Amino acid sequence: MTDAITIDQSLVDRARTAAADIADDIQRHIDAHTTDSTERATLRLLGVTGVNEIDVPLVNVVVEHARALLPGGVIRPFVDLMMQKGKSAQEAAEAIARGELALAEVPAERRAAAEARATELAREGVARIDGVRERRNALVAEIGEPLRPYVYVIVATGNIHEDAVQAQAAARAGADVIAVIRTTAQSLLDYVPYGETTEGFGGTYATQENFRLMRAALDEVGTELGRYIRLCNYASGLCMPEIAYMGSVERLDMMLNDSMYGIIFRNINMRRTFVDQYLARLLNARAGIIINTGEDNYLTTADAFEKGYTVIASDFINEAFAERAGLEKWQMGLGHAFEINPATPDQVVYQVADAQLVRQLFPEASPKYMPPTKYMPGDIFQGHIIDAMFNFTGIFTGQDIMLLGMLTEALHTPLLQDRYLSIKNAKYVFESCRHLRDEVRFKSGGIIEKRAGDLLSRAVDQLEHVREVGLFAALEKGEFADVERDPEGGRGAEGVFKRAADYFNPVFAALRDGRMSGPPVGPAPGTRTAAGEGRPS
């Protein structure tokens, strides 16, 4: 290990204490509320899928019909109806959509039976997730595991079949993680589209069928290359827990699942978002999925040099939320970014300080380092050099997940050749500098150590302030990313419901009980010579 920068442990302890208090305060709100999307995700776990005759998802239809019952939870009346009519979950949902059946309060004498059956069905749904996680573990052990940092690239054509072609090409060039960017503004849709899609703008619709198709394509190329290729998509927006469920059963390996990104950058109601992220993260925890958080985006609207401490503060908050949902440390892909203005003297020195601080504060996590975007020039050659310095900073500070920058970042969605050049850039830097961090020491009292200490101190000040005023008020005042949001406003506010005293949803307990632990383990890293791999370490 590289000699570490000196960090004041008392500041770290204060940061974690404040973050825990902030998360506990929000957890009280979470435990007192449910949402449209939480109840829809519950129905999906029972096995409800498909759409009605006008392509409205059946889970939306059922929840809309049950709106007056939602404070008590949809699962009890839904399962009672199944039992009374002798129908499966899918059959009951289809009958409700046709207007043949209706949900109603469950009579007292039938409650115990309905709740017992609902608990059984919830456990069966969770068992399906466990089976998918076991399959991943087996494939990683069989196929093999790439060296870290994972080379993470994006595909975003709008056509899932073209995405699959590009994803396989990227894997053959050396990519380890493929992220399928969602079509523009899907996060604002209060439903999940159904089936495969071939039209999208700036990305491809996140649907369960699209997840299945891409997973199959990556398994095919992974077997060819001798390393397991990971798939990433977005569990964020108004359907956050539903998409997390879909990812858990279609074997996604990473999901963007931030607790505050949708609030800040998509103006989704914060009271809804915090409730939804809890179930989404419970699902991701159970499925063995690494979550990626969105702190990097803060630095696209706020100055990275002056406001870098907000990234650190938010990482602590996201860590606390993740712990409350049962995510293990290795599943926390906490976000940060290489976004200081390149014209800043000693820019890379400061970037190393920021990245090294994140690595040391969260040593068991899997930090996701994001590339430069805000100051990327139209000069593609200069941009390629800046990306190389980002790659250098990532390997030197021991980041786990590296989303590669593209030389045409400022111009257009990357073409295949652009992605190939970016992967080639990263592979060269990673292999040529792989053990550099083991050979150097940080200067005591130097620029890097002073910068890291200042960031941590300011992050602690912010966390303690947020604890005092509350996270809702801090978001309202724009204390993260310089973006102000109304706690009562934003998209989806009408879909938040205060839980009744008899609220019932056994899915939460089923997801927490009897969980597996630990990441999938393959052959020792660095022992293969498959295409795209570096020399043995």
- CA–CA gap between residue 359 and residue 452 (Å, rounded): 11
Rg (C-alpha) for the chain, rounded Å, is: 23
Q: Catalytic pick from 80, 163, 253, 296?
A: 296
Nearest to 342 by CA among 386, 379, 373: 386
Q: Please list, residue by residue across 406-436, b when 16 or more beta carbons sit within 10 angstroms of its beta carbon and e when fewer do.
A: bbbbbeebbeeebbbbbbebbbebbeeebee
Cis peptide upstream of residue 149 (ω within 30 degrees of 0):
yes
Q: Is 296 a catalytic residue?
A: yes
Helix (H) or strand (E) holding 230: strand 230-234
How many CB atoms sit inside 10 A of residue 446's CB? 12
Cα–Cα distance for residue pair 409/365, rounded to 1 Å: 28
| Active-site pick, 261, 309, 369, 420 | 261
Sign of CA dihedral 453, 458, 464, 467: negative
Please give, one letter per residue, the 3-state secondary structure of 353-410. Answer: HHHHHHHHHCCCCCCEEECCCCCCCCCHHHHHHHHHHHHHHHHHCCCCEEECCCCCCC
DSSP states of 151-215: EEEEE--S-HHHHHHHHHHHHHHT-SEEEEPPPTTGGG-SS---S-----SSS----HHHHHHHH
Helices 75-85/108-143 angle, 10° precision: 100
Contact 7, 460 (CB under 8 A): no
368: annotated active-site residue = yes
Residue 369 is among the residues annotated as catalytic for this protein: no
Catalytic residue among 253, 278, 309, 368: 368
Distance in angstroms (rounded) separating the CA atoms of residues 297 and 288: 25
User: 479: helix, coil or strand?
Assistant: coil
Element (H, E) at 496: strand 496-498
Helix, strand, coil share of the chain (percent; to 5): 55, 10, 40
d(CA 255, CA 232): 5
Q: Cα(284)–Cα(8) distance, rounded to whole angstroms? A: 33
Active site residues: 261, 296, 368
